[in-house]
Amino acid sequence: SDGMFRGDLISLLYDPGYFPALLDSEGDKNEPRNGGVPQEGNMTKHIDSLRETLYELMPDRKFTGIGVIDFEHWRPIWRENWGILDKYRKYSVSMERNRHPKMNKEELEKKASKRFEAAAKQFMMQTIMFAKKLFPRASWGYYGYPFCFNYKPRNGKLSCTDEVIEDNNRSKWLFKESTALFPSMYLREKNMNTQSNIQYIEGRMKEARRIAVNYNIPIYAYASHKYTDSDTFLSPEDLKNSLLVPKRAGADGVIIWGASKDLSSQEKCSSAYDYLMTVIGPAVKTVLQDTEKNEEEFQGIFNIFGR
C-alpha cells in the first residue's frame, strides 16, 4: 500500500539477517561477513539478526501477504556459483587448502563443495523456516527461484538445461519449505526480440510450474519495467507479454519491480508516471480481461517500482 516495498500486500526483504557473504570494500574485494562462506558462518548470529530485522520491518505479526527473501550473494548449489559468484568457490577451496595442505586440487574442491552445499542448505532453510514461524499466515519464498538460466551465454535455448533441472531437483528441500515461488522474468534488449522474449518467459514459467505442481505452491513471477542491459523502458509489447505470458502459463500473479534510482529526479518521476499511465495501466487492463485464465484467479500486480 502507498507505494511502499513493505506493506500490507507484500514485503520485500533485501539481504535480511546476517548471511555469510564476501563483500566489496576499499582495497579488498573479499571482505568476509559472518565467515564469508556458509560453512564458516555462525547460524546463531544470523538468526538473531534476522529476528531483529523481521520485527523492525514487519511489525504486523498477522501479516497475510507475500514475503520475498531477496538474497543473491551466493547460490546453494556449488556448480551455479559462476561468474562474479565464483569467488565463493575459490574462497572455499582456499579455506580447505589451509586445513589440508597435502590434498590435491580435485580433493580440495570435492571437500569444499560438500561443506559449502551442506551449510548453504542450512542457512537458507533455517531462514525461511524462521520467517514462517514468525509470520505463519504469509506466503514465503526466495527471489529468483527456481533458476533456469535459459537464453544465457551457457544456454542459448528456450528451455532450462538438464543440469539446471537436476540442480532444482536437488533443491527440493528449499521448495518443500517455500510457500510461494518468485522466478525472475527480467528481459534484455540486446540480441532479443518480441518472440525470443516470449520464449524466454515461457521457458522459465515451464520450470516454475513443474516445481509448483509438485509442491502445490503459487507462482508470482518477477517482471521489470526496464530492460536489464539498458536504462530503457520495456516496449509496450514486451511489457504486456511480461504479464500475459506468465498468466497464461499458470502464474498466480506478477510483481513489477523497480529500483529507487528510477525515481531519483523530477524528470525520472515524470517519465515513470507517464509510462505507468500509458503503458503499464493499459497492459494490466488487457491482461486482466484475458479469458485464458479467469481474472479472479490471477492476483495481478502486487508492487510497482518496489524499491
Among all residues, which ones are annotated catalytic? Answer: 72
Q: 123, 20 in Cβ contact below 8 A?
A: yes
What is the four-CA torsion angle of 226, 229, 235, 237, rounded to 10 degrees? Answer: -100
- Count the Cβ atoms, other than its own, within 10 Å of residue 90: 13
d(CA 210, CA 270): 40
- Residue 196: all three cell numbers together: 525470443
Question: Which amino acid belongs to residue 251?
Answer: A
How is the chain split among helix, strand and coil, in percent rounded to 5? 50, 15, 35
Q: Which residue has 520475498 as its cell numbers?
A: 68
Q: 183, 167 in Cβ contact below 8 A?
A: no
Residue 216 phi, psi dihedral angles, 5° rounding: 55, 50
- Residue 28: all three cell numbers together: 579488498
Residue 140 phi, psi dihedral angles, 5° rounding: -115, 145
